[in-house]
């Protein structure tokens, strides 16, 4: 949370401290040449606080806005070098500044290994270590700091940490950092990477099984996690897992880990999808059900967008379009999702769900899971807008 100009409290008598409002409380930052402490007004007195990880004093101001003299006077007392070093951090920034205020070792660490300084600042913010303990820890050699922070991760090293790349320095990247440095299995799977992009990793479900797959390792190693192909691979990957769960397959991870590229993953997906539409399995499943009907459609269809209302229709839809819609039988039976045939301008299938704002299209796929064109999406979007509009 940024300490914006509108959050500042102008104190008539005290021109040195910075007073501001945050989360409905009043706070005070003492000046850099004092103890540079943070205090909160609690029970009619100023109480020191360290656990404000998201509080940001330094950030880029809009160009058109004149600098607030109160803020500027306070910031000018902080050395420019330290302001530049701390400014990128959007998480634990205040404690990073405090550490650099009282020990030059923190400044050296900010230059040589900012990730390590970030991890130490988190110890202060969570209360795992006191401010004095963190100051003492920073005085140690980097190898000793790593061992003290993560004594149960033998794969973690200073060299590995220096290969970690920060982009936004925010909460999501810090969560990714905690997983990368705190989980021995994840660390081991990333040892092959030349550069470990925290922003890329924070966008994925980072777990040991996923990172052990050959093609995911390759994508991370080649910094391709922002590529559109990466998104499609992740979607196929979790789609395969969902089908495997529906088919009650034993240990599907082993088959997924053997896929070395996107083509092999698509082949595995097709193989499992074809198993889903096996007629004998369909008959056995329907026999177990009390009723072959699906949950009633939650929204009306049109002449070209037709609701699927029975198990047989859902099965036939998967057969006709050669995709795995039938593996969503549990969701369709419970009413979690409603499925529709799209007859024009392209033949496809829609999975309709709900969120807080109304109906949403969870998936829209054509034959063999191909993507619809713009005209098809326009037709579906118009229908979606219509069913979400309040009745006259």
pLDDT 10s digit of each residue in the chain, 392 long?
Answer: 788 888 898 888 888 899 999 888 899 999 999 889 899 999 889 998 877 788 889 888 777 777 788 888 999 999 999 999 999 999 999 999 999 998 999 999 999 999 999 999 999 888 888 888 999 999 999 999 999 999 999 999 999 999 998 888 998 889 889 989 998 988 888 887 788 888 777 666 566 777 777 777 776 666 554 556 666 777 777 788 888 887 778 888 888 878 877 788 888 888 887 777 665 566 655 555 545 578 888 899 999 999 999 888 888 888 888 888 888 888 888 888 999 999 999 999 999 998 877 899 989 999 888 889 999 999 999 999 999 887 65
311 and 266 co-located in one domain: no
d(CA 389, CA 338): 18
Residue 145 and residue 138 in contact, taking contact as beta carbons nearer than 8 Å: yes
271 and 315 co-located in one domain: no
Residue 125 and residue 95 in contact, taking contact as beta carbons nearer than 8 Å: yes
Look at the block and give the residue holding tokens 């880990």.
Answer: 257
322 and 376 co-located in one domain: yes
268 and 313 co-located in one domain: no
- Print the domain residue range for 236: 228-276
d(CA 211, CA 170): 23
Residue 43 domain-assigned (yes or no): no
Residue 369 domain-assigned (yes or no): yes
311 and 361 co-located in one domain: yes
Dihedral of the CA atoms 149, 155, 158, 161 (nearest 10)?
A: -90
234 and 267 co-located in one domain: yes
265 and 296 co-located in one domain: no
Residue 336 domain-assigned (yes or no): yes
240 and 328 co-located in one domain: no
Residue 188 domain-assigned (yes or no): no
Q: What is the pTM of this model?
A: 0.66
DSSP E strands, 8-112: 8-9, 18-22, 25-29, 38-42, 45-48
Task: List Cβ neighbours of 186 (8 Å cut-off, separation of 6 or more).
Answer: 179, 180, 206, 207, 208, 211
What is the reported pLDDT for 188?
Answer: 87
DSSP code for 135: H
DSSP code for 164: E
263 and 296 co-located in one domain: no
306 and 252 co-located in one domain: no
Residue 116 domain-assigned (yes or no): no
Residue 69 domain-assigned (yes or no): no
d(CA 121, CA 11): 30
Task: List Cβ neighbours of 260 (8 Å cut-off, separation of 6 or more).
Answer: 214, 215
Residue 374 domain-assigned (yes or no): yes
Residue 296 domain-assigned (yes or no): yes
d(CA 127, CA 95): 12
What is the reported pLDDT for 6?
Answer: 86
341 and 368 co-located in one domain: yes
What is the reported pLDDT for 67?
Answer: 77
Number of domains in the chain: 2
d(CA 166, CA 171): 11
What is the reported pLDDT for 157?
Answer: 94
Residue 31 and residue 15 in contact, taking contact as beta carbons nearer than 8 Å: no
315 and 375 co-located in one domain: yes
Cβ-count burial of 192 within 10 angstroms (0-12 exposed, 13-18 middle, 19+ buried)? exposed
Q: Which of 278, 226, 286 is nearest to 247 (CA)?
A: 278
CA torsion sign for 115, 116, 117, 120 is: positive
């Amino acid at each position: 949370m940024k300490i914006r100009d509108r959050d500042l409290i102008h104190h008539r008598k005290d021109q040195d401290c910075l007073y501001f409002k945050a989360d409905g409380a009043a706070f005070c930052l003492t000046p850099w040449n004092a103890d540079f402490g943070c205090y909160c007004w609690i029970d009619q007195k100023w109480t020191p606080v360290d656990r404000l990880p998201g509080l940001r004093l330094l950030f880029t101001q809009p160009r058109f806005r004149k600098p607030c003299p109160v803020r500027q006077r306070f910031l000018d007392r902080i050395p420019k070098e330290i302001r530049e070093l701390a400014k990128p951090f959007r998480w634990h920034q205040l404690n990073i500044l405090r550490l650099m205020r009282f020990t030059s070792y923190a400044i050296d660490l900010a230059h040589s290994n900012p990730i390590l300084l970030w991890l130490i600042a988190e110890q202060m913010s969570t209360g795992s270590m006191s401010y004095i303990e963190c100051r003492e820890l920073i005085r140690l050699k980097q190898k000793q700091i790593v061992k003290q922070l993560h004594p149960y991760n033998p794969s973690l090293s200073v060299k590995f940490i220096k290969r970690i790349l920060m982009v936004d320095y925010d909460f999501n990247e810090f969560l990714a950092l905690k997983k990368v440095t705190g989980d021995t299995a994840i660390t081991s799977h990333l040892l092959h990477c030349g550069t470990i992009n925290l922003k890329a990793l924070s966008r994925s479900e980072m777990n040991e099984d996923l990172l052990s797959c050959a093609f995911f390792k390759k994508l991370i190693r080649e910094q391709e996690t922002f590529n559109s192909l990466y998104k499609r691979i992740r979607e196929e990957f979790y789609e395969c897992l969902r089908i495997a769960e529906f088919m009650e397959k034993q240990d599907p991870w082993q088959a997924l880990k053997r896929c070395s590229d996107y083509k092999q993953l698509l082949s595995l997906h097709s193989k499992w999808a074809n198993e889903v539409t096996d007629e004998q399995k369909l008959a056995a499943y329907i026999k177990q059900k009390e009723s072959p009907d699906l949950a009633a459609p939650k929204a009306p269809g049109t002449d070209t967008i037709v609701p699927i209302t029975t198990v047989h229709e859902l099965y036939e839809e998967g057969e006709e379009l050669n995709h795995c819609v039938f593996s969503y039988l549990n969701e369709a039976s419970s009413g979690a999702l409603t499925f529709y045939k799209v007859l024009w301008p392209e033949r496809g299938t829609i999975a309709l769900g709900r969120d807080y704002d109304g109906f949403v299209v969870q998936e829209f796929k054509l034959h063999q899971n191909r993507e619809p064109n713009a005209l098809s999406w326009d037709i579906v979007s118009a229908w979606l807008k219509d069913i979400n509009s309040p009745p006259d």
